[in-house]
Amino acid sequence: MPDVHNSSSSINPIKSNYGSKNILQLITCPICLEVFREPIQLPCQHNFCKSCLERITVDRWSRCPVCRGCYRVPFAGVGSFEVNRTIINLLENNSYTESRPMLQAKCALCKLEDTITICEHCREAICCKCRREHYDEFRKYICLKLNETQQEAEKLIAKEVEHINKHEDNIHHSNDISNTIRH
User: What pLDDT, in 10s, does the model give residues 22-32?
Assistant: 677 778 888 88
CB 63 within 8 A of CB 119: no
| Three-class DSSP category at 100 | helix
- Which pLDDT tens digit goes with each residue over 57-67? 878 888 888 89
Beta-strand runs (E) in 11-124: 39-41, 47-49, 61-63, 70-72, 82-83, 104-106, 113-118
User: pTM for the full model?
Assistant: 0.43
Q: Which residue among 103, 133, 160 closes a domain? A: 103
Distance CA 28, CA 77 (A): 22
Candidate from 11-15, 41-45, 117-121, 174-178 with smallest mean pLDDT: 11-15
Domain shared by 79 and 99, yes or no = yes
Distance CA 167, CA 175 (A): 12
Domain shared by 142 and 168, yes or no = yes
Domain shared by 59 and 118, yes or no = no
Is a pLDDT exceeding 80 seen at residue 152?
Answer: yes
4 belongs to a structural domain: no
Strands of 113-118's sheet, edge to edge?
104-106, 113-118, 125-127
CB 126 within 8 A of CB 103: no
Provide the pLDDT for residue 135: 84
Is a pLDDT exceeding 60 seen at residue 86?
Answer: yes
118 belongs to a structural domain: yes
In terms of residue numbers, what domain contains 91? Answer: 13-103
Q: Which residue among 79, 103, 127 closes a domain? A: 103
Is a pLDDT exceeding 50 seen at residue 72?
Answer: yes
CB 58 within 8 A of CB 49: no
- DSSP letter at 79 equals G
Evaluated on CA atoms 99, 100, 105, 107, the torsion sign reads: positive
CATH number reported for the structural domain that contains residue 39 in this entry: 3.30.40.10
- In the chain, the number of structural domains is 2
**Mean pLDDT across the stretch 103-128?**
70
